[in-house]
Amino acid sequence: MSKFSFFSITLSFISLMLFWIAMSGFLDAIHLTFGVLSVGGVLMLNYQLKKHRFYTDDMDNLDELRLFRAAYYFFWLIYQIIIAGFHVLGIILRPSMPIEPSIIKFRVDLPSSHAKMILGNSITLTPGTLTIDIEGDLFIVHSLDDASFESLKNDEMPRQVLQLFDKEDRSVIRDFEIIKSAEEI
């Protein structure tokens, strides 16, 4: 475990207190006291959690994360969420509601559990898809229709996640399987 630096603790405390103030909307003594106690408790709990490694490739810090690429990925994901949102809206507004739900199973070749977590959360954030389970390198995803999982099928989203941690551009998904009926699961 790496030790917390004074700068890290101070920055965490200030940002969490600003979030507390923004969410509570009050600046009186009682609310600020509760804020200080809550933020202090969160920082202590976080310190205790940092003592344990939950995965073999668990990173204490995100030194491997490419920050400029992360900024690009953030805006790319927002764009994907908007596009998928309009797609789902189109499905809802059509009287026939052309929904063809599917379960998709695939394996990924990503460098760490953090990369897998980012991919799983990105899939869930995109309307029309939901990450059901991640076990090792096996992902199980529910999809509203065939167009909803297109960025997974063509390996676009997983490659974007890979590039957060690695400059290499290679295929990430393998063993892609589409299941249309409950019996096939």
Burial class (CB in 10 A: 0-12, 13-18, 19+), 66: middle
Residue 178 lies in a domain: yes
pTM, entire model: 0.71
Calculate what percentage of the chain has a pLDDT beyond 70. Answer: 88
* 132 in the same domain as 73: yes
Say if residue 83 is in the same domain as residue 173: yes
Is residue 60, in this structure, part of any structural domain at all?
Answer: no
Its domain, for residue 153, covers 67-184
- 72 and 32 co-located in one domain: no
Residue with token string 């992360």? 70
Rounded average pLDDT over 147-152: 86
**In total, how many domains does the chain have?**
2
Same domain for 39 and 125, yes or no, is no
- Looking at the fold, whether 117 and 170 belong to one and the same domain comes out as yes
Q: Tell me, yes or no, whether 55 lies in a domain.
A: no
pLDDT, one tens digit per residue, over 73-101 is: 999 999 999 999 999 999 989 888 778 88
Q: Per residue in 108-138, pLDDT tens?
A: 988 888 889 999 999 999 999 999 999 989 9
20 lies in the same domain as 75: no
Over residues 25-50, the pLDDT tens digits come to 888 999 999 999 999 999 999 888 77
Domain annotation covers residue 1:
no
Q: Is residue 54 part of a domain?
A: no
